[in-house]
Amino acid sequence: MASHVRRAFKYRFYPTDVQAAELARTFGCARKVYNLALAARTEAWMLRQERVNYKTTSAMLTAWKKTEELAYLNDVSSVPLQQALRHLQAAFTNFFGKRAKYPRFKSRKKSRKSAEYTRSAFRFGDGKLTLAKMAEPLDVVWSRPLPEGAQPSTVTEAQDAAGRWFVSLLVEDQTVEPLAAIGRAVGVDAGLDHLLTLSSGEKIANPRHERRDRARLAKAQRELARKAKGDGANRAKSRGKVAKVYARIADRRRDKLHKLTTRLVRENQTIVIEDLTVVNLLKNGHLARAISDAAWSEFRSMLEYKARWYGREVIAVDRWFPSSKLCSACGSLRVKMPLHVRTWTCDCGTTHDRDVNAARNILAAGLAVSACGAGVRPQRNTPGGQSATKQEVLRREP
Protein backbone atom coordinates (compact mmCIF):
# COMPACT_ATOMS: atom_id res chain seq x y z
CA MET A 1 0.00 0.00 0.00
CA ALA A 2 1.22 3.48 -0.84
CA SER A 3 2.37 5.52 2.14
CA HIS A 4 0.26 8.50 1.07
CA VAL A 5 -3.37 8.48 0.02
CA ARG A 6 -4.89 11.06 -2.31
CA ARG A 7 -8.16 12.25 -0.84
CA ALA A 8 -10.76 14.78 -1.89
CA PHE A 9 -12.11 17.07 0.82
CA LYS A 10 -15.45 18.61 -0.08
CA TYR A 11 -16.78 21.88 1.34
CA ARG A 12 -19.77 24.13 0.84
CA PHE A 13 -19.08 27.69 -0.30
CA TYR A 14 -21.14 30.80 -0.97
CA PRO A 15 -20.00 32.85 -3.98
CA THR A 16 -20.74 36.50 -4.50
CA ASP A 17 -22.89 37.45 -7.49
CA VAL A 18 -19.74 38.30 -9.46
CA GLN A 19 -18.07 34.98 -8.57
CA ALA A 20 -21.23 33.01 -9.37
CA ALA A 21 -21.44 34.67 -12.79
CA GLU A 22 -17.76 33.92 -13.47
CA LEU A 23 -18.17 30.29 -12.46
CA ALA A 24 -21.32 29.93 -14.56
CA ARG A 25 -19.39 31.25 -17.59
CA THR A 26 -16.56 28.82 -16.85
CA PHE A 27 -18.95 25.87 -16.57
CA GLY A 28 -20.51 26.79 -19.90
CA CYS A 29 -17.19 27.23 -21.68
CA ALA A 30 -15.82 23.94 -20.33
CA ARG A 31 -18.96 22.15 -21.51
CA LYS A 32 -18.69 23.80 -24.94
CA VAL A 33 -15.05 22.80 -25.35
CA TYR A 34 -15.81 19.22 -24.28
CA ASN A 35 -18.63 18.94 -26.82
CA LEU A 36 -16.59 20.51 -29.63
CA ALA A 37 -13.70 18.14 -29.00
CA LEU A 38 -16.02 15.13 -28.80
CA ALA A 39 -17.63 16.11 -32.11
CA ALA A 40 -14.20 16.56 -33.73
CA ARG A 41 -12.93 13.21 -32.49
CA THR A 42 -16.11 11.42 -33.58
CA GLU A 43 -16.06 13.01 -37.03
CA ALA A 44 -12.37 12.19 -37.52
CA TRP A 45 -13.02 8.54 -36.80
CA MET A 46 -16.26 8.23 -38.79
CA LEU A 47 -14.89 9.94 -41.91
CA ARG A 48 -11.18 9.04 -41.88
CA GLN A 49 -10.80 6.27 -39.25
CA GLU A 50 -8.39 8.65 -37.52
CA ARG A 51 -7.93 8.68 -33.76
CA VAL A 52 -7.53 12.20 -32.35
CA ASN A 53 -5.73 12.49 -29.01
CA TYR A 54 -5.57 15.13 -26.28
CA LYS A 55 -2.61 16.92 -27.85
CA THR A 56 -4.52 17.44 -31.09
CA THR A 57 -7.65 18.72 -29.34
CA SER A 58 -5.49 21.11 -27.31
CA ALA A 59 -4.21 22.60 -30.57
CA MET A 60 -7.82 22.80 -31.77
CA LEU A 61 -8.72 24.76 -28.65
CA THR A 62 -6.04 27.34 -29.45
CA ALA A 63 -7.50 27.72 -32.93
CA TRP A 64 -11.08 27.95 -31.65
CA LYS A 65 -10.15 30.84 -29.37
CA LYS A 66 -8.93 32.84 -32.39
CA THR A 67 -12.25 32.63 -34.20
CA GLU A 68 -14.86 35.34 -33.85
CA GLU A 69 -17.58 32.84 -33.00
CA LEU A 70 -15.68 31.31 -30.06
CA ALA A 71 -13.67 34.31 -28.91
CA TYR A 72 -15.62 34.29 -25.62
CA LEU A 73 -13.54 31.27 -24.56
CA ASN A 74 -10.75 33.74 -23.82
CA ASP A 75 -12.88 35.38 -21.10
CA VAL A 76 -12.44 32.50 -18.64
CA SER A 77 -9.38 30.74 -17.24
CA SER A 78 -7.80 28.41 -19.78
CA VAL A 79 -7.05 25.73 -17.18
CA PRO A 80 -10.62 24.38 -16.77
CA LEU A 81 -10.90 24.21 -20.56
CA GLN A 82 -7.72 22.14 -20.80
CA GLN A 83 -8.97 19.93 -17.96
CA ALA A 84 -12.20 19.34 -19.89
CA LEU A 85 -10.10 17.99 -22.77
CA ARG A 86 -8.19 15.75 -20.36
CA HIS A 87 -11.47 14.41 -18.98
CA LEU A 88 -12.58 13.62 -22.53
CA GLN A 89 -9.30 11.80 -23.13
CA ALA A 90 -9.89 9.75 -19.98
CA ALA A 91 -13.43 8.94 -21.17
CA PHE A 92 -12.07 7.63 -24.48
CA THR A 93 -9.38 5.65 -22.67
CA ASN A 94 -12.07 3.97 -20.58
CA PHE A 95 -14.16 3.34 -23.69
CA PHE A 96 -11.32 1.69 -25.61
CA GLY A 97 -10.45 -0.26 -22.47
CA LYS A 98 -14.06 -1.55 -22.46
CA ARG A 99 -14.69 -0.05 -19.03
CA ALA A 100 -17.31 2.47 -20.17
CA LYS A 101 -19.65 3.35 -23.00
CA TYR A 102 -18.84 5.81 -25.76
CA PRO A 103 -18.57 9.39 -24.39
CA ARG A 104 -21.76 11.43 -24.62
CA PHE A 105 -22.28 15.13 -25.23
CA LYS A 106 -22.85 17.25 -22.15
CA SER A 107 -26.24 18.86 -21.70
CA ARG A 108 -26.75 22.39 -20.38
CA LYS A 109 -29.65 21.26 -18.18
CA LYS A 110 -28.80 17.70 -17.20
CA SER A 111 -25.01 17.46 -17.03
CA ARG A 112 -23.06 18.21 -13.86
CA LYS A 113 -21.94 21.83 -13.64
CA SER A 114 -18.28 21.77 -12.66
CA ALA A 115 -14.84 23.14 -13.47
CA GLU A 116 -11.46 21.80 -12.42
CA TYR A 117 -8.50 24.08 -11.65
CA THR A 118 -4.91 22.85 -11.38
CA ARG A 119 -2.20 24.39 -9.17
CA SER A 120 -1.37 27.17 -11.62
CA ALA A 121 -4.94 28.50 -11.61
CA PHE A 122 -5.62 29.03 -7.89
CA ARG A 123 -3.99 30.37 -4.72
CA PHE A 124 -4.42 28.60 -1.40
CA GLY A 125 -3.08 29.66 1.96
CA ASP A 126 -4.16 30.76 5.43
CA GLY A 127 -7.55 29.21 4.90
CA LYS A 128 -8.26 31.26 1.80
CA LEU A 129 -8.88 29.94 -1.71
CA THR A 130 -8.75 32.30 -4.68
CA LEU A 131 -9.39 31.17 -8.25
CA ALA A 132 -7.93 32.56 -11.46
CA LYS A 133 -9.92 35.47 -12.93
CA MET A 134 -11.28 36.30 -9.45
CA ALA A 135 -10.12 39.17 -7.25
CA GLU A 136 -11.59 37.92 -3.97
CA PRO A 137 -11.25 34.53 -2.22
CA LEU A 138 -14.22 32.20 -2.04
CA ASP A 139 -16.34 32.19 1.09
CA VAL A 140 -15.71 28.55 2.00
CA VAL A 141 -17.23 26.90 5.08
CA TRP A 142 -14.28 24.85 6.38
CA SER A 143 -16.43 22.23 8.11
CA ARG A 144 -13.43 20.00 8.81
CA PRO A 145 -9.69 20.68 8.74
CA LEU A 146 -7.45 19.62 5.90
CA PRO A 147 -4.50 17.38 6.84
CA GLU A 148 -1.72 19.46 8.36
CA GLY A 149 0.55 20.94 5.72
CA ALA A 150 -1.59 19.63 2.85
CA GLN A 151 -1.52 21.58 -0.42
CA PRO A 152 -4.25 20.88 -2.99
CA SER A 153 -3.10 19.61 -6.38
CA THR A 154 -6.47 20.31 -8.00
CA VAL A 155 -9.56 22.24 -6.97
CA THR A 156 -13.00 21.49 -8.44
CA GLU A 157 -15.93 23.86 -8.17
CA ALA A 158 -19.41 22.51 -8.77
CA GLN A 159 -23.05 23.50 -8.45
CA ASP A 160 -25.59 20.76 -7.86
CA ALA A 161 -29.16 20.61 -9.16
CA ALA A 162 -30.43 22.14 -5.90
CA GLY A 163 -28.33 25.24 -6.54
CA ARG A 164 -25.77 24.56 -3.82
CA TRP A 165 -22.10 25.34 -4.45
CA PHE A 166 -19.31 22.96 -3.48
CA VAL A 167 -15.54 22.98 -3.75
CA SER A 168 -13.48 19.79 -3.68
CA LEU A 169 -9.76 19.91 -2.85
CA LEU A 170 -7.59 16.95 -3.84
CA VAL A 171 -4.67 16.52 -1.41
CA GLU A 172 -2.19 13.90 -0.27
CA ASP A 173 -3.22 12.75 3.19
CA GLN A 174 -0.21 11.49 5.12
CA THR A 175 -2.34 10.68 8.15
CA VAL A 176 -4.03 7.67 6.48
CA GLU A 177 -2.11 4.55 7.48
CA PRO A 178 -2.96 0.84 7.62
CA LEU A 179 -4.72 -0.16 10.81
CA ALA A 180 -3.29 -2.82 13.08
CA ALA A 181 -4.16 -6.29 11.79
CA ILE A 182 -6.92 -8.12 13.66
CA GLY A 183 -8.11 -11.70 13.32
CA ARG A 184 -11.72 -10.90 12.63
CA ALA A 185 -13.78 -11.48 9.49
CA VAL A 186 -17.41 -10.81 8.70
CA GLY A 187 -19.85 -11.86 5.99
CA VAL A 188 -22.34 -9.26 4.77
CA ASP A 189 -25.71 -10.02 3.17
CA ALA A 190 -27.35 -6.98 1.54
CA GLY A 191 -31.12 -6.78 1.65
CA LEU A 192 -34.18 -4.56 1.67
CA ASP A 193 -36.01 -5.52 4.88
CA HIS A 194 -32.68 -4.86 6.57
CA LEU A 195 -29.99 -2.89 4.80
CA LEU A 196 -27.29 -5.35 5.90
CA THR A 197 -27.22 -8.59 7.84
CA LEU A 198 -23.87 -9.64 9.32
CA SER A 199 -22.64 -13.17 9.89
CA SER A 200 -22.44 -12.31 13.60
CA GLY A 201 -26.25 -12.19 13.62
CA GLU A 202 -26.48 -8.39 13.75
CA LYS A 203 -29.07 -6.78 11.51
CA ILE A 204 -28.68 -3.16 10.41
CA ALA A 205 -31.97 -1.40 9.78
CA ASN A 206 -32.76 0.00 6.36
CA PRO A 207 -33.33 3.76 6.85
CA ARG A 208 -35.42 3.95 3.63
CA HIS A 209 -34.45 7.58 3.11
CA GLU A 210 -36.43 7.95 -0.11
CA ARG A 211 -39.61 6.53 1.43
CA ARG A 212 -39.38 8.94 4.38
CA ASP A 213 -39.45 11.91 2.00
CA ARG A 214 -41.78 10.40 -0.59
CA ALA A 215 -44.75 12.61 0.28
CA ARG A 216 -42.63 15.76 0.10
CA LEU A 217 -41.08 14.59 -3.17
CA ALA A 218 -44.48 13.77 -4.71
CA LYS A 219 -45.81 17.21 -3.78
CA ALA A 220 -42.82 18.94 -5.38
CA GLN A 221 -43.11 16.79 -8.51
CA ARG A 222 -46.84 17.52 -8.85
CA GLU A 223 -46.12 21.23 -8.61
CA LEU A 224 -43.44 20.88 -11.31
CA ALA A 225 -45.81 18.92 -13.58
CA ARG A 226 -48.33 21.76 -13.47
CA LYS A 227 -45.81 24.27 -14.82
CA ALA A 228 -45.64 24.93 -18.55
CA LYS A 229 -42.65 23.25 -20.17
CA GLY A 230 -39.81 25.50 -21.27
CA ASP A 231 -37.23 27.76 -19.68
CA GLY A 232 -39.65 29.83 -17.61
CA ALA A 233 -38.68 31.11 -14.16
CA ASN A 234 -41.62 29.37 -12.44
CA ARG A 235 -40.69 25.99 -13.88
CA ALA A 236 -37.05 26.50 -12.93
CA LYS A 237 -38.12 27.33 -9.36
CA SER A 238 -40.25 24.19 -9.15
CA ARG A 239 -37.44 22.10 -10.62
CA GLY A 240 -35.19 23.45 -7.89
CA LYS A 241 -37.66 22.36 -5.19
CA VAL A 242 -37.62 18.80 -6.54
CA ALA A 243 -33.83 18.86 -6.67
CA LYS A 244 -33.64 20.01 -3.03
CA VAL A 245 -35.70 17.02 -1.89
CA TYR A 246 -33.47 14.64 -3.85
CA ALA A 247 -30.36 16.34 -2.41
CA ARG A 248 -31.70 15.90 1.13
CA ILE A 249 -32.27 12.19 0.49
CA ALA A 250 -28.83 11.69 -1.07
CA ASP A 251 -27.04 13.56 1.74
CA ARG A 252 -28.63 11.45 4.47
CA ARG A 253 -28.00 8.23 2.56
CA ARG A 254 -24.34 9.11 1.98
CA ASP A 255 -23.83 10.03 5.62
CA LYS A 256 -25.31 6.70 6.76
CA LEU A 257 -23.15 4.69 4.34
CA HIS A 258 -19.96 6.53 5.35
CA LYS A 259 -20.52 5.77 9.03
CA LEU A 260 -21.44 2.16 8.31
CA THR A 261 -18.50 1.37 5.99
CA THR A 262 -16.00 3.07 8.32
CA ARG A 263 -17.23 0.95 11.19
CA LEU A 264 -17.01 -2.31 9.20
CA VAL A 265 -13.47 -1.53 8.04
CA ARG A 266 -12.26 -0.60 11.52
CA GLU A 267 -13.77 -3.67 13.20
CA ASN A 268 -12.84 -6.38 10.65
CA GLN A 269 -9.73 -7.50 8.82
CA THR A 270 -11.70 -9.29 6.08
CA ILE A 271 -15.13 -8.31 4.80
CA VAL A 272 -16.96 -10.69 2.45
CA ILE A 273 -19.82 -9.42 0.28
CA GLU A 274 -21.89 -10.63 -2.66
CA ASP A 275 -20.91 -9.56 -6.17
CA LEU A 276 -24.33 -8.14 -6.99
CA THR A 277 -25.14 -6.79 -10.45
CA VAL A 278 -27.29 -3.89 -9.36
CA VAL A 279 -27.97 -2.76 -12.94
CA ASN A 280 -29.73 -6.04 -13.66
CA LEU A 281 -31.57 -6.04 -10.34
CA LEU A 282 -33.00 -2.62 -11.15
CA LYS A 283 -34.91 -4.19 -14.05
CA ASN A 284 -37.32 -5.61 -11.47
CA GLY A 285 -40.10 -3.04 -11.66
CA HIS A 286 -41.51 -3.96 -8.24
CA LEU A 287 -38.24 -3.55 -6.34
CA ALA A 288 -36.27 -1.02 -8.43
CA ARG A 289 -37.19 1.94 -6.24
CA ALA A 290 -36.26 0.16 -3.01
CA ILE A 291 -33.01 -1.19 -4.50
CA SER A 292 -32.00 2.29 -5.66
CA ASP A 293 -32.70 3.68 -2.20
CA ALA A 294 -30.56 0.97 -0.58
CA ALA A 295 -27.57 2.14 -2.71
CA TRP A 296 -25.73 -1.18 -2.68
CA SER A 297 -23.25 -0.04 -5.36
CA GLU A 298 -22.31 3.07 -3.38
CA PHE A 299 -21.90 0.94 -0.26
CA ARG A 300 -19.50 -1.40 -2.05
CA SER A 301 -17.51 1.46 -3.58
CA MET A 302 -17.01 3.11 -0.19
CA LEU A 303 -16.13 -0.19 1.45
CA GLU A 304 -13.48 -1.04 -1.15
CA TYR A 305 -11.61 2.26 -1.17
CA LYS A 306 -11.61 2.49 2.64
CA ALA A 307 -10.30 -1.07 2.82
CA ARG A 308 -7.42 -0.08 0.49
CA TRP A 309 -6.65 2.91 2.68
CA TYR A 310 -6.52 0.99 5.93
CA GLY A 311 -5.01 -2.32 4.86
CA ARG A 312 -8.17 -4.40 5.01
CA GLU A 313 -9.45 -6.99 2.51
CA VAL A 314 -12.80 -7.05 0.71
CA ILE A 315 -13.79 -10.30 -1.01
CA ALA A 316 -16.76 -10.53 -3.36
CA VAL A 317 -18.28 -13.98 -3.86
CA ASP A 318 -20.02 -15.11 -7.05
CA ARG A 319 -23.46 -13.53 -7.46
CA TRP A 320 -24.89 -17.00 -8.25
CA PHE A 321 -23.65 -18.54 -5.00
CA PRO A 322 -26.82 -19.96 -3.36
CA SER A 323 -26.13 -18.40 0.03
CA SER A 324 -29.78 -18.37 1.17
CA LYS A 325 -30.51 -22.01 0.25
CA LEU A 326 -27.41 -23.60 1.79
CA CYS A 327 -27.52 -24.84 5.35
CA SER A 328 -24.56 -23.22 7.10
CA ALA A 329 -24.53 -26.08 9.61
CA CYS A 330 -24.48 -29.19 7.37
CA GLY A 331 -24.02 -27.81 3.85
CA SER A 332 -27.17 -29.31 2.32
CA LEU A 333 -28.88 -27.34 -0.44
CA ARG A 334 -32.60 -26.70 -0.63
CA VAL A 335 -34.22 -26.86 -4.04
CA LYS A 336 -36.35 -23.73 -3.62
CA MET A 337 -36.35 -20.74 -1.28
CA PRO A 338 -39.07 -18.19 -2.21
CA LEU A 339 -38.47 -14.63 -1.05
CA HIS A 340 -41.37 -14.69 1.42
CA VAL A 341 -39.64 -17.48 3.44
CA ARG A 342 -37.68 -15.66 6.16
CA THR A 343 -36.95 -18.64 8.46
CA TRP A 344 -36.56 -22.32 7.61
CA THR A 345 -35.52 -25.58 9.22
CA CYS A 346 -32.98 -27.87 7.58
CA ASP A 347 -33.26 -31.66 7.55
CA CYS A 348 -30.39 -31.68 10.03
CA GLY A 349 -32.69 -29.97 12.54
CA THR A 350 -31.09 -26.50 12.42
CA THR A 351 -33.50 -23.57 12.20
CA HIS A 352 -32.14 -20.66 10.21
CA ASP A 353 -32.91 -17.00 9.87
CA ARG A 354 -32.69 -16.62 6.09
CA ASP A 355 -30.47 -13.51 6.06
CA VAL A 356 -28.15 -14.54 8.91
CA ASN A 357 -27.67 -17.95 7.29
CA ALA A 358 -26.85 -16.26 3.97
CA ALA A 359 -24.29 -13.98 5.63
CA ARG A 360 -22.59 -16.97 7.29
CA ASN A 361 -22.42 -18.85 3.98
CA ILE A 362 -21.02 -15.77 2.25
CA LEU A 363 -18.32 -15.51 4.93
CA ALA A 364 -17.40 -19.20 4.60
CA ALA A 365 -17.17 -18.96 0.82
CA GLY A 366 -15.05 -15.81 0.98
CA LEU A 367 -12.63 -17.29 3.51
CA ALA A 368 -12.24 -20.36 1.28
CA VAL A 369 -11.23 -18.08 -1.58
CA SER A 370 -8.80 -16.16 0.63
CA ALA A 371 -7.21 -19.33 2.01
CA CYS A 372 -6.71 -21.41 -1.11
CA GLY A 373 -8.07 -19.57 -4.10
CA ALA A 374 -10.98 -21.99 -4.34
CA GLY A 375 -14.10 -21.23 -6.31
CA VAL A 376 -16.92 -19.60 -4.47
CA ARG A 377 -19.45 -22.18 -5.61
CA PRO A 378 -18.36 -25.36 -3.82
CA GLN A 379 -20.20 -28.50 -4.84
CA ARG A 380 -22.76 -29.04 -2.10
CA ASN A 381 -25.06 -31.99 -1.61
CA THR A 382 -28.81 -31.53 -2.01
CA PRO A 383 -31.21 -33.12 0.48
CA GLY A 384 -31.55 -35.96 -2.03
CA GLY A 385 -27.81 -36.54 -1.95
CA GLN A 386 -27.06 -35.30 -5.49
CA SER A 387 -24.43 -32.71 -6.30
CA ALA A 388 -25.91 -29.40 -7.48
CA THR A 389 -24.23 -27.72 -10.45
CA LYS A 390 -24.53 -24.00 -11.20
CA GLN A 391 -26.93 -24.67 -14.09
CA GLU A 392 -29.16 -26.86 -11.90
CA VAL A 393 -29.31 -24.22 -9.19
CA LEU A 394 -30.27 -21.57 -11.74
CA ARG A 395 -33.04 -23.78 -13.11
CA ARG A 396 -34.37 -24.30 -9.61
CA GLU A 397 -34.49 -20.59 -8.76
CA PRO A 398 -38.11 -19.68 -7.93
Q: Which are the catalytic amino acids?
A: 189, 274, 355
Q: What is the dihedral of CA 71, 73, 76, 82, to 10 degrees?
A: -140
Q: What are the E-state strand segments in 293-387?
A: 313-317, 343-345, 351-353
Question: Do strands 313-317 and 270-274 pair parallel, antiparallel, or not at all (unpaired)?
Answer: parallel
* CA dist., res. 302 & res. 260, Å (int): 10
Helix (H) or strand (E) holding 12: strand 5-13
Task: Report phi then psi at 165, rounded to 5.
Answer: -105, 135
* CA dist., res. 47 & res. 56, Å (int): 17
Candidates 313, 306, 222, 235; CA nearest to 273 is 313
Task: Report phi then psi at 372, rounded to 5.
Answer: -135, 5
Q: Identity (one letter) of the amino acid at 25?
A: R
* CA dist., res. 79 & res. 262, Å (int): 35
8 A C-beta contact, residue 265 and residue 186: no
8 A C-beta contact, residue 337 and residue 354: yes
